[in-house]
């Protein structure tokens, strides 16, 4: 086929070929018009990818912090002062309606422009971003002593450090050479302690809580009974005993966590805001800090990599607008994996049936058309089906049969990762069937006939010859299905995705894989951050970064599929009988 | 059999039995498995259908039991929430309760009578019943009234189960109208602060109408005593002999039905009464006399029956001509044989039970449908609809109480609700509208799918307007003119675009693109137009250049050569658009007198249509990203697969490459192109996240590009998480999903059939 294509290109006439009376080939104008279609299409995709990559990457780049000073006689003030400290993000034209008549007619175009600054310190200023009229800015400088610190709450802080107040030592002033190294050491300690607290609370106490919940359900079941048999009474007493034991285990753990927490508050950092206000915070608040105006390029690159790693491996904070997206990546991964496990055997089986077993006729053709069509049915239809059938019908019945003690609290009768995976499996099964069928059809007839003639059974032929030959094609279908599943959001919103899941669907607590749990998903994370968060401006960098991760994931999966397909084509081009 | 086989086949050809069995097993397994996957997948449609089906079923009513009731001259009948302890009020004001649970059982309380402790044993002359609040109204012969609350309460006695207890809570007797003159008719309406009672009296053959507004003291212990705040003599407003009286819950009106068939609407603003309207509900009928006049749930619709049996609903709405809220005829029901004898409104929805004795009919106000109607085996004198909309109770003239079970989970559902125009309460005209939730319990749900279907088509339309030309042109260029070496990279790039998650597109559309586009609509339009015109212009100019220069550009690379031009043209077009805005789209701000050049302000003023930041234009543009690659890929495949002989033949005969493409290749592959467009259409119809994020999700019925819309798919995503399981809304959303399913399935089937036909065609020529 490819050869033929090349041949066609050679035979394409040069524009010199005479065709019409004017001696010029007719319709060259329209060739350009069709070319415009392709140019626009390609530009769109390139621009979009560039936009996402640029915005997604620049989130992590440690940028300079500018000290902006306004003219004394100008109208612009920041909290009654003439200075503002922050990262300059953009400069743009101001809305005509906001301008005074003087500004509108001013000869200086800077009067009609404004700069957006990221200020940080949401706890002090109440806002993270501000616009300042560019015309009123007198001077912009980049003071070296400025620190930008990522905190557990209230977002980043940008400030001039004053001193460290230590519990068991003299305070260290900011100009002391030991200041930076001490702060660095203390922040490391704080982070280690925070990890320890998380370990205790999330894992040890979390496990106790889960066991406690199960026991409470059992206890409730017994206490609801009118009369208990002796065995039941014994069982109830043992349940109560175990509850006591758990409570006893819980106490020291909680105490340990509380002690660690108290230690987090011991040392304080005193700092000055650009407005001159002096504030202080416990070091337990600081996640990490740096001097944005002192960094070398290499230092910046190192921080950049660190930020990216923190984003990919961290847990979200502050209604998802800060911290990392690890649970979302993990949730997407587990869900896609479950989906693949569900979709692969069924999709392949159906395709083998259609191609190798079913008698080819109008009925099979109709089935094939129907399956092709199902691939085009909107995903939300699968979502509503998943909610109605899997969650309410199947899940509700499972609850009634196996989890009746927990009722009316649903266990499987509520959206969860299993139902999400099954719904997406149903949605992608047509993709797998179609791809597998194509791959099976591409295996030449001669291969099958030869095998059968050698005395192999039909199943042996399929198992040892047809399937291995078509494996790459099947794999392509599966990868495409995974890409589609990973990027889909609409049905997931109905069947199990949440903005913030307290627990991962897979963890160290028996039975390790918790199929009934709700989970986080990259796509839904984008939707939730961009549209449900109270401060969508503050969330925007996070959305872009998450978007970049999701696009990378999907594009890589698709490229993989395309590569496999191309490889396959070449293979069969030479393999023809 | 086996022995013979063993003998016939030499040893080395004998297949292990295990292999054979396994083969047979796998054959069956694959067949069963494969078939069941296909069946399971097709069950999706069956399941959705099963969810939708109950919407189109009517009510079922089943007889449950009969019970005797002590004879009496009953005028009012009411019941508790569980329909276990109904009551009957006789003309003397006595209230009789009948325990209907387990008659003859050990805990049955039989029947018992309570007389409201009216302070001084006043003689009752009139009884009225306020069904919605289970309140009785008593008027006395000496011109006073009292309001009696029938308070049901579920108690849980020691022996288990539930027992309904009842208490009567009455106000003291308060004055109304002339002292010493019997009250003939009375009505009460009140909730919250404003409370109003009206009564008619007959003084020496002349009718008088009086009203009092009531005040309730607030004490620390809750609501205190009621007292008369102000009295009004409304006799001057009477136009005839009053027969019916009604006061809505908001206590802002008194409605008087006269014996001559007219209804007077008095408006009460809290201080004064004014006569707003006099209307004759049955003006076109010979016998205009009104038999009954009662409210539907919410007290903004009146159900009227005439003595001739006609049954109509009047609702209050803001009349655009009169510019005030007046009553108008909104619904007409089939006639009864004569005026209604009994009436009971549902407390759950807009249904009402009405009948003339023999015939009982359960009707639904919103949809003008009869949910159930039957000839009763008895002559009913009173009826009550269980407050949970699950029982019908009839009292016949032989003092037997008949219980019926009512099963009607979706009374509002029906073709008319989903696809027809309905004049909802408060609306001046019949409309298609969707509004599934409201602030009040008595809110009338609007469940028309038409605005959603229109929204879906609107989104699709704008997506296709944008995507179709680009996708088709790009496909023609790629398959016919593009250098094959480049094509190897171009196609996967476009396919990557198809895989972009729609949530990403939606996010970019809403938070990044929508502000940009809405700030500069003229610039965007002129840049787009510029690129199109520019392509024609440059193509033409290029054709005019001498061959020497044209030889410099290798054919198949025009699309790259166009890039710098496109950038230039788009840049120029952008600024030209901004310039045009300065001169063309100028409005004067009415508040400040400032003259502003802004398309966003100009467009609504010039066209009377809305302008929103998140609009169909943005959605169409971004949905292009989703649709273009699909149409492009399939069209390109179809064009590339046209047998090479066609092309070579055409070129050999001296046709130019454009002539070959347009006159030979494109027509041959037209079926494939058509199928590509259909599949793209299917994708646009079902797209969810882009629409959810990039529009305001307001249901609309117009095609204005600068407002948003709500599509079927977005509607499901937005509303399903809040819809109660198996409720009307839940099933309606499934109906929406079914419509969506059918739309895409139809479109895709057409596409698929076309594609198969094309394949056969090619096979024929090859």
| Distance of alpha carbon A574 from alpha carbon B6, whole angstroms | 43
pTM: 0.88
Q: For A36-48, b where at least 16 C-beta lie within 10 A, e where not — what string?
A: bbbbbbbbbbeeb
Contact A34 B481 (CB under 8 A): yes
Between A321-330, A405-414, B293-302, B453-462, the lowest mean confidence (pLDDT) is in A405-414
Q: Among B473, B596, B656, whose Cβ lies nearest the Cβ of A27?
A: B656
Structure tokens, A99: 């301008």
Q: Are residues B627 and B718 in the same domain?
A: yes
Q: Are residues B112 and B196 in the same domain?
A: no
Taking each helix axis from N to C end, the angle separating B728-765 and B450-476, rounded to the nearest 10 degrees, works out to: 30
Q: Flag whether B194 is in a domain.
A: yes
| Distance of alpha carbon B473 from alpha carbon B535, whole angstroms | 12
Evaluate whether B669 touches B662 at the Cβ level (below 8 Å).
no
Q: What residue spans of B382-438 are helical by DSSP H? A: 415-419
Chain A residue numbers touching B476 (CB-CB < 8 A): 34, 37
Q: What residue spans of B193-262 are helical by DSSP H? A: none
Chain B residue numbers touching A490 (CB-CB < 8 A): 502, 688-689, 692, 713, 717
pLDDT of residue B223: 61
Residue A29 clears pLDDT 50, i.e. is over it: yes
Chain A within 8 Å of B645 (Cβ-Cβ)? no
The 3-state DSSP class for residue B79 equals coil
pLDDT digit string (tens) for B324-334?
A: 899 999 999 99
pLDDT of residue B438: 76
Q: How far A28 CA sits from the closest chain B CA (Å)?
A: 6
Q: Are residues B337 and B263 in the same domain?
A: no
Confidence of residue A10 (pLDDT cuts 50, 70, 90): very low
Question: In terms of CA atoms, which chain B residue is nearest residue A479?
Answer: B499
pLDDT of residue A76: 80
| Distance of alpha carbon B693 from alpha carbon A531, whole angstroms | 7
Q: Which CATH number does A326-576 carry?
A: 1.10.3720.10
Other Cβ atoms within 10 Å of B77 Cβ, number: 23
Q: Flag whether B68 is in a domain.
A: no
| Distance of alpha carbon B362 from alpha carbon A250, whole angstroms | 61
The interface residues of chain B toward chain A in range 497-556, judged by CB-CB distance below 8 A, are 497, 499-504, 506-508, 510-512, 531-532, 534-536, 538-540, 542-543, 547, 550-551, 555-556
Structure tokens, B500: 């972009």
| Distance of alpha carbon A71 from alpha carbon A54, whole angstroms | 34
The 3-state DSSP class for residue B235 equals helix
Q: Among A11, A28, A460, whose Cβ lies nearest the Cβ of B543?
A: A28
Chain A residue numbers touching B754 (CB-CB < 8 A): none
Angle at A339 between CA A426 and CA B678, to 5 degrees: 40
The whole domain housing B670 covers: 452-521+613-724+734-765
Q: Are residues B199 and B296 in the same domain?
A: no
Contact B30 A353 (CB under 8 A): yes
Q: What are the beta bridge partners of residue B38?
A: none
Question: In terms of CA atoms, which chain A residue is nearest residue B694?
Answer: A531
Chain B residue numbers touching A99 (CB-CB < 8 A): none
**Which among B363, B365, B368, B355 is positioned nearest to B402, based on CA atoms?**
B355
Residue A537 clears pLDDT 70, i.e. is over it: yes
| Distance of alpha carbon B351 from alpha carbon A183, whole angstroms | 73
Q: Are residues B507 and B636 in the same domain?
A: yes
Chain B residue numbers touching A50 (CB-CB < 8 A): none
| Distance of alpha carbon B586 from alpha carbon B537, whole angstroms | 31
Q: Which of A16, A41, A463 to mutate to test the interface with B (most CBs of B within 10 A)?
A: A41
Contact B484 A370 (CB under 8 A): no
Q: How far A120 CA sits from the closest chain B CA (Å)?
A: 21
Chain A within 8 Å of B113 (Cβ-Cβ)? no
Q: Flag whether B352 is in a domain.
A: yes
| Distance of alpha carbon B436 from alpha carbon B440, whole angstroms | 12
Confidence of residue B120 (pLDDT cuts 50, 70, 90): low
| Distance of alpha carbon A186 from alpha carbon A267, whole angstroms | 8
**Which among B580, B614, B571, B568 is positioned nearest to B706, based on CA atoms?**
B614
φ, ψ (nearest 5 deg) of residue B697: 60, 35
Confidence of residue B219 (pLDDT cuts 50, 70, 90): low
Between A110-114, A160-164, B163-167, the lowest mean confidence (pLDDT) is in A110-114
Overall average pLDDT of the B725-746 stretch? 91
Q: How many Cβ contacts (< 8 angstroms) between chains A and B?
A: 362
The CA radius of gyration of chain A, in Å to the nearest whole number, is 32
Average pLDDT across chain A, whole number: 84
Strand ranges across the sheet with A113-118 = A129-133, A113-118, A83-93, A66-70, A137-141
- The DSSP-derived string for A253-285 is HHHHHHHHHHHHTSSEEEEE-TTS-EEEEEGGG
Overall average pLDDT of the B28-42 stretch? 81
pLDDT of residue A17: 44
The 3-state DSSP class for residue B630 equals helix
Evaluate whether B508 touches B643 at the Cβ level (below 8 Å).
no
Angle at A238 between CA A235 and CA A243, to 5 degrees: 130
Chain B residue numbers touching A559 (CB-CB < 8 A): 492, 496
Higher pLDDT, residue B635 or B31: B635
Q: How far B490 CA sits from the closest chain A CA (Å)?
A: 8
Question: In terms of CA atoms, which chain A residue is nearest residue B589?
Answer: A97
The residue extents of the domains of chain A are: 326-576
Peptide bond into A511 cis (omega under 30): yes
Question: In terms of CA atoms, which chain B residue is nearest residue A457?
Answer: B23
User: Which residues have C-beta within 8 Å of that of residue B586, sequence separation ≥ 6?
Assistant: B595, B596, B597, B602
Evaluate whether B262 touches B278 at the Cβ level (below 8 Å).
yes
The 3-state DSSP class for residue B110 equals coil
pLDDT digit string (tens) for B548-570?
A: 888 888 888 888 888 999 999 99
Q: Among A17, A34, A493, whose Cβ lies nearest the Cβ of B477?
A: A34
| Distance of alpha carbon B183 from alpha carbon B140, whole angstroms | 6
Q: Flag whether B720 is in a domain.
A: yes
Structure tokens, A358: 């079913």
What CATH number does the domain containing B374 carry? 2.130.10.10
Pairing of strands B135-140, B124-130: antiparallel
Question: In terms of CA atoms, which chain A residue is nearest residue B737?
Answer: A381
Q: Are residues B307 and B339 in the same domain?
A: yes
CA torsion, points B226, B227, B232, B237, in degrees to nearest 10?
Answer: 20
Average pLDDT across chain B, whole number: 87
pLDDT digit string (tens) for A344-354?
A: 998 998 899 88
Chain A within 8 Å of B15 (Cβ-Cβ)? yes
| Distance of alpha carbon B251 from alpha carbon B196, whole angstroms | 5
pLDDT of residue A443: 86
Q: Are residues B661 and B701 in the same domain?
A: yes
End-to-end Cα spacing for chain B: 51
Residue after which a domain boundary falls, among B228, B259, B279: B279
Evaluate whether A440 touches A355 at the Cβ level (below 8 Å).
yes
| Distance of alpha carbon B727 from alpha carbon B218, whole angstroms | 39
Q: Which of A335, A388, A552, A564 to mutate to test the interface with B (most CBs of B within 10 A)?
A: A388
pLDDT digit string (tens) for B517-554?
A: 888 889 999 999 999 999 999 988 888 888 888 888 88
**Which among B705, B739, B742, B674 is positioned nearest to B461, based on CA atoms?**
B705
Residue after which a domain boundary falls, among B258, B279, B300: B279
User: Count of H helices and E strands in chain A?
Assistant: 19, 13
Taking each helix axis from N to C end, the angle separating B558-584 and A28-58, rounded to the nearest 10 degrees, works out to: 80
Overall average pLDDT of the B1-8 stretch? 53
Q: Give CA separation, B680 vs B460, B676, B747, in Å.
A: 9, 6, 10
Evaluate whether B673 touches B758 at the Cβ level (below 8 Å).
no
Q: Among A19, A38, A349, whose Cβ lies nearest the Cβ of B30?
A: A349
pLDDT digit string (tens) for B368-423?
A: 999 999 998 889 999 999 888 999 999 998 899 999 999 999 998 888 889 989 99
Chain B residue numbers touching A489 (CB-CB < 8 A): 501-503, 689
User: Which residues have C-beta within 8 Å of that of residue A513, sequence separation ≥ 6?
Assistant: A505, A506
End-to-end Cα spacing for chain A: 15
Confidence of residue B436 (pLDDT cuts 50, 70, 90): confident
Q: Are residues B299 and B197 in the same domain?
A: no
pLDDT digit string (tens) for B614-656?
A: 889 999 999 988 899 999 998 998 898 888 888 999 999 989 8
Higher pLDDT, residue A479 or B49: B49
| Distance of alpha carbon B221 from alpha carbon B256, whole angstroms | 37
Chain A residue numbers touching B655 (CB-CB < 8 A): 19
Residue A366 clears pLDDT 70, i.e. is over it: yes
Evaluate whether B145 touches B138 at the Cβ level (below 8 Å).
yes
Stretch (H or E) spanning A511: none
Residue whose pair of structure tokens reads 């902006």 in the numeric block: A68
Chain B residue numbers touching A20 (CB-CB < 8 A): 656
User: Which residues have C-beta within 8 Å of that of residue A570, sequence separation ≥ 6?
Assistant: none
Number of domains forming the structure of chain B: 4
What sign does the CA torsion over B548, B552, B557, B563 have? negative
What CATH number does the domain containing B461 carry? 1.10.3720.10
| Distance of alpha carbon B216 from alpha carbon B145, whole angstroms | 16
Q: Flag whether B425 is in a domain.
A: yes
Contact B476 A484 (CB under 8 A): no
Q: Are residues B623 and B703 in the same domain?
A: yes
Q: Which of A14, A357, A381 to mutate to test the interface with B (most CBs of B within 10 A)?
A: A381
pLDDT digit string (tens) for A258-293?
A: 898 888 888 889 999 988 888 889 988 888 899 999
Residue B312 clears pLDDT 90, i.e. is over it: yes
Residue A572 clears pLDDT 60, i.e. is over it: no
Residue after which a domain boundary falls, among B431, B462, B484: B431
Q: Flag whether B60 is in a domain.
A: no
Contact A369 B756 (CB under 8 A): yes
**For chain A, the helix, strand and coil percentages under 3-state DSSP, each to the nearest 5:** 60, 15, 25
Question: In terms of CA atoms, which chain A residue is nearest residue B640?
Answer: A5
ipTM comes to 0.87
Q: Among A378, A430, A523, whose Cβ lies nearest the Cβ of B503?
A: A523
Confidence of residue A7 (pLDDT cuts 50, 70, 90): very low
Contact B48 A13 (CB under 8 A): no
Other Cβ atoms within 10 Å of A219 Cβ, number: 16
Evaluate whether A447 touches A465 at the Cβ level (below 8 Å).
yes
Structure tokens, B292: 């009954």
Within 13 Å of residue A80, how many CA atoms lie on the same side as its CB?
2
Q: Among B542, B543, B689, whose Cβ lies nearest the Cβ of A489?
A: B689
| Distance of alpha carbon B174 from alpha carbon B147, whole angstroms | 9
Residue A5 clears pLDDT 50, i.e. is over it: no
Structure tokens, B244: 């019916």
Stretch (H or E) spanning A246: helix A230-264
pLDDT digit string (tens) for A103-157?
A: 777 777 777 888 888 888 888 888 888 888 888 888 899 998 899 998 888 888 9
Q: How far B501 CA sits from the closest chain A CA (Å)?
A: 5
- The DSSP-derived string for B338-383 is SS-SEEEE-SSSSEEEEESSSEEEEEETTTTEEEEEEE-SS-EEEE
CA torsion, points B175, B179, B182, B183, in degrees to nearest 10?
Answer: -30
Residue B221 clears pLDDT 70, i.e. is over it: no
| Distance of alpha carbon B258 from alpha carbon B245, whole angstroms | 9
Evaluate whether A257 touches A215 at the Cβ level (below 8 Å).
no
Question: In terms of CA atoms, which chain A residue is nearest residue B25?
Answer: A459
Structure tokens, B368: 């003008």
| Distance of alpha carbon B421 from alpha carbon B424, whole angstroms | 9
């Amino acid at each position: 086929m490819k050869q033929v294509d090349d041949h066609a290109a050679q035979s394409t006439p040069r524009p010199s070929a005479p065709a019409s009376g004017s001696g010029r080939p007719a319709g060259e104008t329209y060739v350009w018009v069709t070319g415009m279609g392709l140019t626009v299409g390609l530009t769109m995709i390139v621009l979009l990818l560039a936009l996402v990559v640029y915005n997604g990457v620049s989130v992590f780049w440690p940028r300079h912090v500018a000290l902006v000073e306004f003219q004394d006689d100008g109208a612009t003030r920041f909290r009654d002062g003439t200075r503002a400290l922050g990262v300059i993000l953009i400069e743009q034209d101001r809305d005509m309606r906001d301008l005074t008549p003087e500004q509108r007619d001013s000869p200086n175009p800077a009067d009609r422009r404004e700069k957006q600054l990221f200020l940080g310190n949401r706890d002090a200023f109440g806002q993270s971003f501000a616009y300042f009229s560019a015309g009123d800015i007198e001077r912009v400088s980049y003071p070296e002593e400025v620190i930008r610190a990522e905190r557990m709450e209230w977002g980043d802080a940008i400030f001039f450090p004053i001193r460290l107040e230590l519990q068991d030592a003299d305070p260290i002033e900011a100009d002391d050479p030991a200041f930076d190294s001490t702060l660095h050491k203390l922040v490391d300690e704080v982070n280690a302690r925070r990890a320890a607290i998380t370990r205790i609370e999330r894992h040890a106490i979390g496990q106790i809580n889960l066991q406690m919940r199960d026991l409470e359900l059992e206890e409730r079941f017994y206490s609801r009974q009118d009369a208990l048999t002796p065995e039941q009474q014994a069982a109830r007493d043992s349940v109560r005993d175990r509850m006591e034991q758990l409570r006893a285990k819980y106490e020291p753990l909680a105490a340990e966590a509380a002690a660690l927490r108290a230690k987090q508050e011991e040392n304080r950092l005193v700092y000055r805001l650009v407005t001159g206000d002096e504030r202080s915070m416990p070091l337990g608040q600081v996640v990490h800090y740096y001097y944005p105006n002192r960094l070398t390029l290499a230092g910046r690159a190192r921080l950049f990599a660190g930020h990216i790693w923190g984003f990919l491996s961290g847990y979200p904070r502050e209604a998802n607008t800060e911290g990392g997206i690890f649970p979302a990546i993990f949730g997407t991964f587990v869900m896609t994996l479950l989906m693949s496990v569900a979709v692969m055997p069924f999709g392949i089986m159906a395709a083998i049936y259609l191609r190798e077993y079913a008698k080819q006729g109008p009925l099979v053709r109709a089935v094939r058309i129907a399956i092709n069509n199902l691939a085009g049915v909107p995903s939300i239809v699968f979502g509503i089906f998943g909610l109605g059938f899997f969650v309410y019908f199947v899940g509700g019945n499972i609850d009634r049969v196996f989890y009746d003690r927990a009722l009316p609290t649903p266990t499987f009768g509520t959206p969860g990762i299993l139902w999400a995976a099954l719904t997406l499996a149903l949605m992608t099964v047509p993709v797998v069937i179609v791809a597998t069928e194509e791959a099976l059809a591409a295996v030449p007839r001669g291969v099958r006939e030869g095998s059968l003639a050698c005395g192999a059974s039909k199943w042996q032929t399929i198992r040892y010859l047809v399937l291995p030959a078509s494996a790459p094609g099947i794999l392509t279908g599966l990868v495409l299905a995974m890409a589609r599943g990973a990027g889909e959001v609409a049905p997931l919103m109905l069947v199990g995705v949440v903005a913030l899941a307290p627990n991962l669907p897979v963890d160290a607590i028996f039975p390790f894989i918790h199929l009934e749990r709700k989970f986080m998903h990259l796509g839904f994370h984008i939707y939730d951050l961009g549209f449900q968060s109270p401060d969508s401006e503050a969330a925007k960098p996070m959305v872009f970064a998450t978007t970049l991760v999701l696009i990378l994931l999907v594009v890589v999966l698709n490229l993989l599929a395309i590569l496999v397909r191309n490889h396959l084509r070449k293979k069969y081009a030479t393999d023809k009988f | 059999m086996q022995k013979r086989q063993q003998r016939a086949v030499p040893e080395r050809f004998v297949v292990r039995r295990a292999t054979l069995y396994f083969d047979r097993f796998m054959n069956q397994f694959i067949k069963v498995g494969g078939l069941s996957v296909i069946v399971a997948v097709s069950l999706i449609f069956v399941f959705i259908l099963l969810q939708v089906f109950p919407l189109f079923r009517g009510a079922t009513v089943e007889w449950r039991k009969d019970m005797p009731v002590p004879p009496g001259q009953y005028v009012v009948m009411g019941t508790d929430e569980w329909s276990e302890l109904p009551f009957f009020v006789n003309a003397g004001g006595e209230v009789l309760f009948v325990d209907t649970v387990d008659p003859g059982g050990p805990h049955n309380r039989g029947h018992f009578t309570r007389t409201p402790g009216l302070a001084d044993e006043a003689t009752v002359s009139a009884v009225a019943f306020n069904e919605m609040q289970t309140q009785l109204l008593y008027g006395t012969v000496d011109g006073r009234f009292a309001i009696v609350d029938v308070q049901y309460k579920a108690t849980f006695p020691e022996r288990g189960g539930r027992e309904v207890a009842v208490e009567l809570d009455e106000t003291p007797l308060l004055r109304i109208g002339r002292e010493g003159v019997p009250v003939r008719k009375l009505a009460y309406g009140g909730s919250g602060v404003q409370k109003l009672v009206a009564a008619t009296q007959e003084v020496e053959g002349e009718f008088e109408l009086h009203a009092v507004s009531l005040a309730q003291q607030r004490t620390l212990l809750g609501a205190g005593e009621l007292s008369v705040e102000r009295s009004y003599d409304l006799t001057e407003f009477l136009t005839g002999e009053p027969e019916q009286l009604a006061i809505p819950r908001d206590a802002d009106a008194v409605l008087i039905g006269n014996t001559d068939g007219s209804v007077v609407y008095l408006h009460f603003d809290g201080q004064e009464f004014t006569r707003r309207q006099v209307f004759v509900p049955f003006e076109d009928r010979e016998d205009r006399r009104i038999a009954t006049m009662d409210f539907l749930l919410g007290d903004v619709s009146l159900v009227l029956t005439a003595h001739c049996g006609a049954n109509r609903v009047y609702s209050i709405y803001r009349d655009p001509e009169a510019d005030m809220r007046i009553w108008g005829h909104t619904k007409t029901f089939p006639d009864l044989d004569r005026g209604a004898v009994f009436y009971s409104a549902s407390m759950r929805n807009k249904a009402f039970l009405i009948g003339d004795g023999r015939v009982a009919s359960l009707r639904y106000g919103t949809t003008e449908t009869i949910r159930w109607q039957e000839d009763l085996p008895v002559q009913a004198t009173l009826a009550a609809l269980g407050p949970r909309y699950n029982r019908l109770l009839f009292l016949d003239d032989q003092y037997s109480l008949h219980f019926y079970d009512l099963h009607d989970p979706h009374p509002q559902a029906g073709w008319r609700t989903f696809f027809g125009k309905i004049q909802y309460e408060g609306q001046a005209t019949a409309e298609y509208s969707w509004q599934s939730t409201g602030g009040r319990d008595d809110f009338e749900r609007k469940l028309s799918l038409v605005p959603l279907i229109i929204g879906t088509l609107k989104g699709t339309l704008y997506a296709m307007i944008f995507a179709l030309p680009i996708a088709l042109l790009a496909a023609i260029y790629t398959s016919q003119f593009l250098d094959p070496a480049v094509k190897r990279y171009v196609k996967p790039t476009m396919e990557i675009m198809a895989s972009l998650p729609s949530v990403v597109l939606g996010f970019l559309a809403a938070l990044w693109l929508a502000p940009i586009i809405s700030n500069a609509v003229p610039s965007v339009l002129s840049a787009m137009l510029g690129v199109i015109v520019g392509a024609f212009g440059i193509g033409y100019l290029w054709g005019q250049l001498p061959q020497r220069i044209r030889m410099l550009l290798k054919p198949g690379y025009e699309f790259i050569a166009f890039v710098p031009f496109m950038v230039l043209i788009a840049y120029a077009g952008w600024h030209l658009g901004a310039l045009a805005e300065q001169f063309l789209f100028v409005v004067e701000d009415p508040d400040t007198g400032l003259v502003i050049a802004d398309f966003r302000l100009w467009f609504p003023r010039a066209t009377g249509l809305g302008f929103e930041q998140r609009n169909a234009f943005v959605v169409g543009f971004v949905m292009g990203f989703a649709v273009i690659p699909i149409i492009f890929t399939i069209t390109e495949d179809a064009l590339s697969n046209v047998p090479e002989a066609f092309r070579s033949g055409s070129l050999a005969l001296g046709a130019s490459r454009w002539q070959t493409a347009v006159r030979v290749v494109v027509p041959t592959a037209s079926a494939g192109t058509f199928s590509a467009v259909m599949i793209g259409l299917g994708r646009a119809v079902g797209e969810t996240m882009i629409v959810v994020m990039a529009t305001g999700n307001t249901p609309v019925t117009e095609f204005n590009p600068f407002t948003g819309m709500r599509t079927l798919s977005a509607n499901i995503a937005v509303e399903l998480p809040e819809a109660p399981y198996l409720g009307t809304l839940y099933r309606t959303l499934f109906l929406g999903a079914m419509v969506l399913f059918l739309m895409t399935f139809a479109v895709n089937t057409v596409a698929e059939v076309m594609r198969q036909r094309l394949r056969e065609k090619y096979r024929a020529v090859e």
